[in-house]
């Protein structure tokens, strides 16, 4: 149990680091709060709630993974390098793809 709690603390520290240092993560969290309020206002059905929460978690997790990739790239390649740029750009692109898909699905959930 102690190891689990230690791991939980480390994970929470990672989330806090992401929130403190990544403006895109903060943007996604604000958007998530707005989506949750809109879900309450719209009176979403349980399956729609599940999908909405899953999408929010996926986008936030993708942003945290992107942050981790950027940190590792900065650590191993402090000087500009084409492969470092490719790694960072690709990770950011993955977040963009997921966020765009989440937006489309949210529009369907709220408009239909």
Distance CA 76, CA 84 (A): 9
Contact residues for 29 (Cβ-Cβ < 8 A; gap 6+): 19, 60
- Indicate if 70 belongs to the active site: no
**Which of the residues 59, 60, 63, 109 is marked catalytic?**
63
Q: Which residues are catalytic?
A: 63
């Amino acid at each position: 149990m102690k190891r689990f709690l230690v791991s939980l603390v480390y994970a929470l520290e990672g989330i806090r680091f992401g929130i403190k240092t990544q403006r895109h993560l903060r943007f996604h969290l604000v958007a998530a709060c707005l989506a949750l309020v809109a879900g309450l206002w719209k009176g979403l059905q349980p399956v729609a709630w599940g999908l909405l929460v899953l999408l929010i978690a996926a986008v936030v997790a993708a942003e945290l993974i992107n942050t981790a990739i950027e940190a590792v790239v900065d650590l191993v390649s402090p000087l500009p390098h084409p492969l470092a740029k490719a790694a960072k750009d690709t990770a950011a692109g993955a977040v963009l793809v997921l966020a765009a898909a989440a937006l489309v699905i949210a529009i369907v959930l709220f408009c239909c």
